[in-house]
């Protein structure tokens, strides 16, 4: 049975410091939920609270309607994969996987069957008699996942499990995890600070910052319609462009005017906005490099990053603000060139001083 996890108004304090501040969240059965955020945002603490490794100072955590925050970790019917894998160094791979099952008195036959099946699924069947010290990083990772799988838990918790792997192995393991989640029907919570892991694996992403949830949404919602300026900055590489602008709300749609006479008509209704100062935001792929005189702004190229399929062009506008635009992979532009920039107002965003976002209808 898979878990519906309900987190209600939880608070966590370490001494005088509050690390989780009245946070509520609902995770659906079979959902792959990713907690994404920078170091120290509280995402790992929240995961450890669900696991029972940290106490809950206020609020409740329930699984399928049953309150679990007062249960010891072993009785919550969840399994966790640690960043350091936390395999028992003196036990063989088979014993590592069987340990948890032995502790709850499952018969040897069932244990053996489950361990063998997990070994087959994760292609570690030939490593069963080895000890963790004799395994590579990737193999240890699989054993750690295997140890979780054999318990057939209601929910899996992953605490940055890919961060100790080298770049190539990380990509491979990420793909394997994506495959695994379709084979193992269970609720999964995955903590990471890597937005690519979050975007590729998640059904939904919880973006956290500074002890609070910034946004909950599908990967494309998070990317295309970031709720706050923080999310727009944290998700996406390169980060969204932000340009100081004055707004003209005399028309149906807002027109953003930058210093130097540049103006971009957005697809955001003028009647949606209140008073105050706003910042114009747009992703680099929605700023196309164009010949001088075309597009709605001009700039001088500072830096060029060639990514293969496209080229990122860092250009400085007339007032000194830098924006990143996109061009074809074989773009002819060079550092120091004067170029035109075509801002696609239908894909633009506006952020008020508090960081809250308004999005064009086209995104």
Distance CA 106, CA 97 (A): 13
Count of residues that interact with other proteins, criterion CB under 8 A: 23
Is 172 in a helix, a strand, or coil? helix
Among the listed residues 86, 180, 290, 333, the single contact to other proteins using CB under 8 A: 86
- Supply 116's token pair: 């063998």
Q: Rounded to a whole number, what is the distance in angstroms from the first to the last CA of the chain?
A: 37
Among the listed residues 57, 59, 99, 176, the single contact to other proteins using CB under 8 A: 99
Question: What stretches of 202-245 show up as alpha helix (H) in DSSP?
Answer: 219-224, 229-234
What track of x and - describes contact with other proteins for positions 129 through 168 (by CB under 8 A)? ------------------x---x-----------------
Measured over the CA atoms of residue 260, residue 264, residue 270 and residue 276, the dihedral's sign is negative
Give yes or no for a contact between 305 and 347, defined as CB atoms under 8 angstroms apart. no
> Does 103 interact with other proteins (rule: CB under 8 A)?
yes
Whose Cβ is closer to other proteins: residue 105's or residue 291's?
Answer: 105
Distance CA 56, CA 213 (A): 17
Whose Cβ is closer to other proteins: residue 82's or residue 314's?
Answer: 82
Measured over the CA atoms of residue 233, residue 238, residue 244 and residue 249, the dihedral's sign is negative
Q: How far is CA 335 from CA 170, 206, 302, 316, 331, in A?
A: 34, 38, 6, 11, 12
> Does 106 interact with other proteins (rule: CB under 8 A)?
no
Whose Cβ is closer to other proteins: residue 150's or residue 313's?
Answer: 150
Task: Choose the binding region for other proteins from 51-59, 61-69, 115-123, 220-228 (rule: CB under 8 A).
Answer: 51-59
Give yes or no for a contact between 68 and 5, defined as CB atoms under 8 angstroms apart. no
Whose Cβ is closer to other proteins: residue 159's or residue 298's?
Answer: 159
Whose Cβ is closer to other proteins: residue 156's or residue 358's?
Answer: 156
Among the listed residues 14, 70, 104, 306, the single contact to other proteins using CB under 8 A: 104
Distance CA 297, CA 83 (A): 46
Give yes or no for a contact between 38 and 193, defined as CB atoms under 8 angstroms apart. yes
Among the listed residues 13, 22, 67, 90, the single contact to other proteins using CB under 8 A: 90
Task: Choose the binding region for other proteins from 48-56, 114-122, 188-196, 210-218 (rule: CB under 8 A).
Answer: 48-56
> Does 79 interact with other proteins (rule: CB under 8 A)?
yes
Whose Cβ is closer to other proteins: residue 23's or residue 101's?
Answer: 101
Interaction residues for other proteins, span 53-72 (CB under 8 A): 53, 72
Is 111 in a helix, a strand, or coil? helix
Contacts with other proteins by CB under 8 A lie at 51-53, 72-75, 78-80, 82, 84, 86-90, 99-100, 103-104, 147, 151
């Amino acid at each position: 049975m898979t878990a519906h996890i309900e987190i209600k108004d939880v608070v966590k304090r370490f001494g005088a410091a509050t690390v989780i501040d009245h946070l509520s969240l609902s995770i659906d059965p079979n959902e792959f939920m990713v907690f994404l955020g920078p170091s120290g945002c509280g995402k790992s603490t929240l995961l450890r609270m669900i696991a029972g490794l940290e106490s809950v100072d206020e609020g409740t955590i329930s699984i399928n309607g049953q309150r679990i925050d007062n249960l010891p970790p072993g009785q919550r019917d969840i399994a966790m994969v640690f960043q350091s894998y936390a395999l028992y160094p003196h036990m063989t791979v088979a014993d590592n996987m069987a340990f948890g099952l032995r502790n709850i008195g499952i018969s040897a036959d069932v244990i053996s069957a489950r361990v063998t099946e997990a070994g087959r699924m994760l292609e570690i069947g030939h490593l069963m008699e080895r000890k963790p010290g004799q395994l590579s990083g990737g193999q240890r990772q699989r054993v750690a996942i295997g140890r979780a799988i054999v318990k057939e838990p209601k929910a899996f918790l992953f605490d940055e499990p890919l961060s100790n792997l080298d770049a190539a192995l990380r990509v491979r393991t990420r793909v394997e995890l994506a495959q695994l989640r379709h084979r193992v029907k269970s609720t999964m919570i995955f903590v990471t600070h890597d937005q690519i892991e979050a975007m590729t694996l998640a059904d939904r992403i919880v973006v956290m910052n500074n002890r609070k949830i910034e946004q909950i949404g599908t990967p494309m919602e998070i990317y295309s319609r970031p709720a706050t300026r923080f999310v727009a900055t944290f998700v996406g590489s390169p980060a969204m462009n932000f340009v100081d602008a004055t707004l003209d709300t005399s028309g149906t749609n807002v027109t953003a005017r930058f210093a130097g006479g540049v103006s971009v008509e957005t697809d955001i209704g003028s009647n949606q906005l209140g008073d105050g100062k706003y910042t114009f935001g747009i992703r680099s792929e929605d700023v196309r490099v164009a010949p001088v005189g075309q597009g709605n702004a001009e700039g001088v190229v500072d830096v060029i990053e060639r990514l293969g399929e496209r080229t990122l062009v860092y250009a400085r506008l007339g007032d000194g603000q830098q924006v990143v635009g996109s061009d074809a992979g074989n773009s002819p532009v060079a550092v120091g060139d004067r170029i035109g920039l075509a801002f696609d107002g239908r894909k633009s965003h506006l952020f008020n001083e508090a960081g809250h976002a308004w999005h064009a209808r086209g995104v």
